Amino acid sequence: APISTAALYTGVDNKTAIQWYEFCREVCSGKMLRDKAPLGGPGHEVEIDESLLFKRKSHVGRIDHQTWVVGCYDTTVKKGFLQRVPGRSAETLEAVIIENVLPGTKLGYIHRTINHSTNFVDPETGACTNHIEAYWSRIERRLKYVTGSSGDIKWSRVDESMYREMYGFTAKKNFQNFYTFLEHTAVVYPS
């Protein structure tokens, strides 16, 4: 819910609501760090893509820095992640793959390429990047809602979006989502 709505329903001011939202995002980040496991393995395909996350639209607006992000998505288990990187050099991408993708995985970035101007699926190999692009789209859709026109965003919002994807949070399961989130809070902040 928008911050002003949450503040109104809970009887707190906007600043307090913002602090609670940030606390919840800390839980999301903490839980994902605890559950981090490499993707892929024999028989799995992981699609990999890189993107400039915070770029100006039509070259309008000031950006203090640009953030390159590598996305990986396991098409077998339907899980993915995004990771900030200093650039998109071969060395950087290789380091992300070695750290996050198990040996024996078929990679959708290095071994096969897609020319979107001619085909969305390679007719010879069946290679495509549909899964990673759909994953990016779902994450970006959530981010577009919160960034507004400035494009300014904290990485904690990206973590929140990945968390929602990773644990299957949907509007249809609000009670289950809340219960799961409370369990995760207890894991991240044990008493």
43 and 70 fall within a common domain: yes
Cα distance between residue 24 and residue 30, in whole Å: 10
92 and 4 fall within a common domain: no
120 and 133 fall within a common domain: yes
86 and 138 fall within a common domain: yes
Cα distance between residue 6 and residue 151, in whole Å: 23
Mean pLDDT of the chain: 81
Classify each residue of 138-167 as buried b or exposed e, where b means 16 or more C-beta atoms within 10 Å of its C-beta.
ebeebbeeeeeeebebeeebbbbbbbbbbb
Is 110 within a domain? yes
63 and 85 fall within a common domain: yes
Q: What is the pLDDT of residues 88-134, one digit of tens each?
A: 888 999 999 999 999 999 988 643 333 444 444 555 555 556 777 77
What pLDDT does 62 receive? 58
CATH label of the domain that carries residue 127: 3.30.420
What pLDDT does 112 receive? 36
Q: Which domain holds residue 132?
A: 37-153
Is 137 within a domain? yes
In the chain, the number of structural domains is 2
Q: Please give the distance of CA 74 from its chain centroid, rounded to a whole number.
A: 13
Is 160 within a domain? no
186 and 131 fall within a common domain: no
pTM of this prediction exceeds 0.75:
no
Is 117 within a domain? yes
Least confident of 100-109, 132-141, 143-152: 143-152
Distances (CA, A) of 113 to 45, 123, 124, 187: 14, 12, 11, 41
What pLDDT does 167 receive? 92
What pLDDT does 13 receive? 95
79 and 1 fall within a common domain: no
Confidence band of 57 (pLDDT split at 50, 70, 90): low
